[in-house]
Amino acid sequence: MNDLEKLRTEIDKVDAEIVEAVAARTNITYSISKYKVRHNIQVVDEKREAEVYKKVRDLARKNYIEEDFAEELYKIIIAYCRNIQKLKH
């Protein structure tokens, strides 16, 4: 295996970790949805979302990732999770 193939193998492992992390987040979203239904809580929590975006931007900055990119990525993830919660309501 040459150096490029080794690097691509590392990328493949990181890609799998990313997908597994999103899957874990999705599973937690199911639990949150059940809690919200039992306690009659709205799906969308703009205050919480703002907190998440701030944390993500801070993490991005600390890891030398463009903050806008990180926030846009999380907007997609949160929209996906929000849709899961709406389906459960």
pLDDT bin (cut points 50, 70, 90) of residue 27 is very high
CATH number, domain with residue 58: 1.20.59.10
Question: Which domain covers residue 34, as residue numbers?
Answer: 3-88
Please give the mean pLDDT across all residues of the chain.
94
- Structurally, the chain folds into a number of domains equal to 1
> What percent of the chain is modeled with pLDDT above 70?
98
pTM to 2 decimals?
Answer: 0.85
Q: The dihedral of CA 46, 59, 67, 9: what is its sign?
A: negative
Kindly report, residue by residue over 4-21, the tens digit of the pLDDT. 999 999 999 999 999 999
Kindly report, residue by residue over 71-82, the tens digit of the pLDDT. 999 999 999 998
pLDDT at residue 49 in the model: 95
* Alpha helix positions (H), 1-89: 3-38, 46-62, 67-88
